[in-house]
Every structure is written in structure tokens, then in C-alpha cells.
Structure 1
Amino acid sequence: MLVFALQKLLPGDPALMIAGEERDPKVVEFIREKYRLNDPLPVQYGAWVTQIAQGDFGRSLRTDVPVTTLIAQKLPVTIQLAVMAMIVAILVGVPAGILAAVKKGTITDYLANFFALSGLSIPNFWLGILLIFLVSVQLGWLPASGYVSPARDLWLSIKTMLMPAFVLGTALAATLMRHTRSAMIEVLGADYIRTARAKGLYERTVIMKHAMRNALVPIVTLMTLLFGELLGGAVLTEQIFSIPGFGKLVVDAVFTRDYAVVQGIVLCTAIGFIVMNLLADVVYILINPRLRGA
């Protein structure tokens, strides 16, 4: 927490030194009083929890801007990037996993597994730099970096976020592909799948209506966890593409020792994980009729 971290700064920390001289002791004492550093630790923690319960995350030590204001500015950017990355991952990873499971042991299965291995092995920062060089510098198809709000220009905003979303989505697609393949292979060997085929149903109906629906439960769990990680901020990707999201905000806050901002982002990330897991439980009921009956 902020109060615990600030105690390491006071007194005599290089962060409080100007031109090699320590600041006025009166200033140090003022800061200790302002942040309740003279109170016992349980009192400090209780005061912090009370402020958080009231929606007060404190103020930035560097800019003196409320942390809630900074989060409100950066969170929509990260949400947009996370949504676009998940769309890329779902459109690529899920169909590839289904196809690999249906064509198990064929060249299609081997190619899908090679794609998954490549997506997991290629570093995001290297792929991002490579795309900037090829797509932006050499071909000039997409902007190299920056961010444009959808409210200002929707199409330009999509073009600006397309490359970073692809960089993040490639790694997520590889993970989704492997889990989708495993879930589909397990479901395709079930008795009710053989019964559906014995009834003369089309293979496409068997796969999409019977197999895929039952294989979605573990995939939905993975999707929510991956989306929660994206909300935590894709630090390297946002730094490479100069996207002013959670990742860039937390990196800047760490380097400037802006503890209030760091703990505010961490707290919001934890809340995001909780919300996504709750959403996964709701989706389970929607896709699995047996849970609705229970």
C-alpha cells in the first residue's frame, strides 16, 4: 500500500534529495502527516480500506491527479485493445482447434500444432517490431504507433489498434487452439457423439451442435482468464506501439515511484479477474442446459 511504500522513502531517500541536499525536515514531516505515516500500521491500513470503499484511490504523487481519473482515462484504451485481441484469438484459435481435432493425425493437425507452437514461442515484442517494420514502414498500410479514440475516428482507431491486437491475439490464439483441440478430441470420443452419428446426422451438425457446445465449458474458462490478463495491461506491447493504456501507465508509475497509481491499477486488475470469473459462471449456465436444470 501507499503508506507502507512511502515509509521507505522517508527520510533520506534519494527521491527526496535536491542538488545533493536533503529536503527541509518540515517538508518531510508534512508529508508524513499528510499520508498518516506516523500512525500505527493497522490504523494506516484501516484508513486506506475506508478510502477505497468510498471510491477514493488517492492522488498521483507525480502529477497530483486523482488515481480514479487516471484509471478512467486509461481503462477504455486497454479494454478496446483486449477486446480486439480476444476477437483475433477467437477467430483464429477456436476454428483451428476444431479443425485439428476433426482432422487428428493428418497434415492439417500438424500444421495447426505448428502454428500453436510458433504463437507460443515468438516473443510479442519481436513480432511487434517486425510488424511495424514490414506493415508500417515498408508497406505503409497501418499506423506504426499511437492511439486514436473511437469517439473521434472509429475507422482510424481500429487501424491504429489492429497491429497490437494481432500481436497479442496471436499468442492467445495459440493457447486457445491447443485447449480447443484437446476438449474437442475428448468430446468426439463420447458415447452421445457416436449415437448422433448412428442416427444419420450430418457430420457438420454433430461437430457444431453436439461436440462444440459441450467442449465450450473449459474454453470459456480459459477465455475469461486470458481476458483478465489483458485487462492487467500488455506492458511490452503497449510500450512498443505507444498505446496509453494500463500497461504504459503502470510502467511509468513504477519508474517514477508513483505508488498510489501502481496500487490502484493492481486493485482494478484484481477486481477485473473477479468479474471475469463471475461472468464465466453465468456463461456456463447459458451454454450448458444441465446446469440450468440444477
Structure 2
Amino acid sequence: MLRIIANRVLVAIPTLILVSMMIFGLQKLLPGDPVMAMAGEDQNPQVIAALRVKYHLDEPVPVQYVLWVRDVLHGNLGSSLRTDVPVTELIAQKLPVTLQLAVMGMIVAIGIGIPAGILSAASKGGALDYGANILALSGMSIPNFWLGIILIFVVSVEWHLLPSSGYVPPGEDFWLSIKTMIMPAFVLGAALGAQLMRHTRSAMLSVLRTDYIRTARAKGLLRGTVIIKHGFRNALIPIVTVLALLFGELLAGAVLTEQVFTIPGFGKLIVDAVFNRDYAVVQGVVLVTALCFIVVNLFADVLYILLNPRLRRS
């Protein structure tokens, strides 16, 4: 197992290098000059020159990239061009918020998607199958921002059940933190749960057509035992793959939901950074997001090995 994990880590290194080059190169294509915005209305030439020297913007782009990578390897992602706050400090403030939202959204997605997918596959062609597919298509078709606005109006404004927006850290008030995250987590989890349902259904149908399932049924095992113990267990590997991708999608793609519910997470941070042409923050946030993707996929690889012992010999 350790050899397999080491191989995955070695593959991740060139991936991170390529991602860092893309991040650094593409952000240079953003319109505008952040130094001109930082210099204020007077735009004193001496101030502009000093800012360019301070942030190495007077150097050629390849030199800027090398200097940035050198700092990153030392744990320094630079400082915000707008507020002069270290990017690592901003990420440390915002990442736990998005992680909490992503975990709660994933719990909702698993709670909806996996049971619905199993029931749909087990009753293929029946009423449950059609009903689950209709719900899945509805979940994938409804825009997140629209569902979020409707939930705020109904649940918060009309029924007064949950806070409409904002964020409270769990350490400050745990239950209030959970309450403020229930609606945004449901908005994210509903859409991802619909995708998970379709993948679970497909994986289960493939397994339920295999010879060992027919053998288990011929032995007279209970239908539930055949579906869950023999079917779902062997369908887990493709489902784990989807879960890893969906969790990474939650970390990177919760921008609209965070905007609708005024959650100060990664999404709002990167949107503000792009609008303010804050290159250092954009680079740091995207790089950390890419690293999270790699870590999640590495965790999925470990789960593959635990779920299927035959992979340990590969």
C-alpha cells in the first residue's frame, strides 16, 4: 500500500508544477494593472515604481514565476496587493468555512444520492425507478442560486425556521453554526446528490447483472442481503471515484451558493480577488484548491485499496 501511495504522490508533483504554471500564466491575462489601482487617484510615478519593485512586477514574467515558486516552497504565498494581509492568513480564515460547507453538502448528497440510486437500480423499470430519475433530473436542472433564493424566502422569511444568511464559527456557537449552514448545504447537496444517484444506479445495475449476484439469488439469500452485502459493496469503487470528484467540486464550485447566503468562504474570497485584480490571492487560492483536489484523490486511492484487497498486489 505504501508503494502505491508513494507512486501517487510522485505523479502529483508534476501535476502541481503544471497547475502552478497555468495559474501564474493565466492570471497575467487578467485585464488591468493592480499597481495602478493600488497607487490611488494621484498615481505618483515614484509610488508606482516602488510598488512594482516591492511585488517584483518590474521583473520579466519567468523571473516572477521562479520567485513565486521559491516563496511557495518556503510556505509563503505572498501578501494581498489590496490589504497587504498574508495570503496564508486569508486562506486559514476562509478554508475552514468552505470545508464545513463542503462536508455538510456531501453528507446531504450521500444521504440523498446513494439510497435513491440503490432503490432505483433494485426496482429497475418500476415506479421507484421512474420517480428517482425524475428527482435526479430535477436536481441537476434547478440552478443553485434559484433554489437558494426560494429556500431563503420560504424557510427563513415565511416560516422563520433558519437564519437566512451569514456564518457563525462552530467554536463560537456550534448549533447556530449548523443552522446557518443547513440551507446552503442542502442547495449544494441536492444537485450533487442527483449526480451521485445516477452514478450509483449505473454502478449497481452493472453489478446486479453479474454471475455471482445470480448465484447468490439462486442460493435463496434475502433480496436485501444480495443488494446491499453483495451488490452495493462491489459497486463502491466507482461510487468512491465520483465522491472524490464531487467533494473537490464542492471545494472549488460553491461560489454562487456562498454569494447567495453571504458565506465568507473560498468562493467569495476568489471572486473578490479577481474583481480587485489581487493576483497573489488568486494564485494562492487556486493553488490550495488544486492541492485539495490531489489530496482528496489520494484519499480515494487509499479507499480503493481498502475496499478491494486485489489492488494491493497491483
Query: Normalised by the size of structure 1, how large is the TM-score?
Result: 0.94
SS of aligned partner of 1:135: helix
Whether the 8 Å CA contact 2:34–2:276 is kept in 1: the answer is: no
Structure 2 residue identity aligned to 1:288: N
The question of 1:210 aligning with 2:234 is answered no
* 2:45 corresponding residue in structure 1: 25
For 2:34 and 2:287, how far apart are their aligned partners in 1?
Answer: 25
Deviation of the 1:40 alpha carbon: 2.9
Structure 2 residue identity aligned to 1:175: Q
Whether the 8 Å CA contact 1:233–1:246 is kept in 2: the answer is: no
SS of aligned partner of 1:224: helix
Q: 1:235 aligns with which of 255, 264, 267?
A: 255
The question of 1:289 aligning with 2:270 is answered no
CA, structure 1 residues 106+185, in 2 after alignment: closer, same or farther (shift >3 Å)?
same
For 2:156 and 2:289, how far apart are their aligned partners in 1?
Answer: 32
* 1:167 corresponding residue in structure 2: 187
* 2:299 corresponding residue in structure 1: 279
- Taking the TM superposition and a 5 Å limit, the aligned residue runs for 1:55-204 are 55-204=75-224
Q: Deviations over 1:30-85 (max 9, x none)?
A: 11211223323322211110000011000111111100000000000000000000
* 2:33 corresponding residue in structure 1: 9
What number of residue pairs does the alignment pair up? 290
SS of aligned partner of 1:239: helix
CA, structure 1 residues 30+15, in 2 after alignment: closer, same or farther (shift >3 Å)?
closer
CA, structure 1 residues 91+197, in 2 after alignment: closer, same or farther (shift >3 Å)?
same
Whether the 8 Å CA contact 2:38–2:82 is kept in 1: the answer is: no
The question of 1:40 aligning with 2:60 is answered yes
Whether the 8 Å CA contact 2:33–2:277 is kept in 1: the answer is: no
SS of aligned partner of 1:36: coil
Whether the 8 Å CA contact 1:78–1:233 is kept in 2: the answer is: no
Whether the 8 Å CA contact 1:5–1:259 is kept in 2: the answer is: no
Deviation of the 1:288 alpha carbon: 1.4
The question of 1:253 aligning with 2:276 is answered no
Asked which structure has the greater RCO (Cα within 8 Å, sep 6+), the reply is 2
CA, structure 1 residues 6+293, in 2 after alignment: closer, same or farther (shift >3 Å)?
closer
For 2:254 and 2:308, how far apart are their aligned partners in 1?
Answer: 32
Structure 1 residue identity aligned to 2:71: Q
For 1:247 and 1:6, how far apart are their aligned partners in 2?
Answer: 18
Structure 1 residue identity aligned to 2:172: R
CA, structure 1 residues 25+230, in 2 after alignment: closer, same or farther (shift >3 Å)?
same
SS of aligned partner of 1:58: coil
Whether the 8 Å CA contact 1:232–1:269 is kept in 2: the answer is: yes
Q: Mind listing any 5+ residue stretches in structure 2 that lack a counterpart?
A: 1-23
For 1:217 and 1:198, how far apart are their aligned partners in 2?
Answer: 25
Q: Mind listing any 5+ residue stretches in structure 1 that lack a counterpart?
A: none
Identity of aligned residues (%): 66
Query: Normalised by the size of structure 2, how large is the TM-score?
Result: 0.88
CA, structure 1 residues 84+6, in 2 after alignment: closer, same or farther (shift >3 Å)?
closer
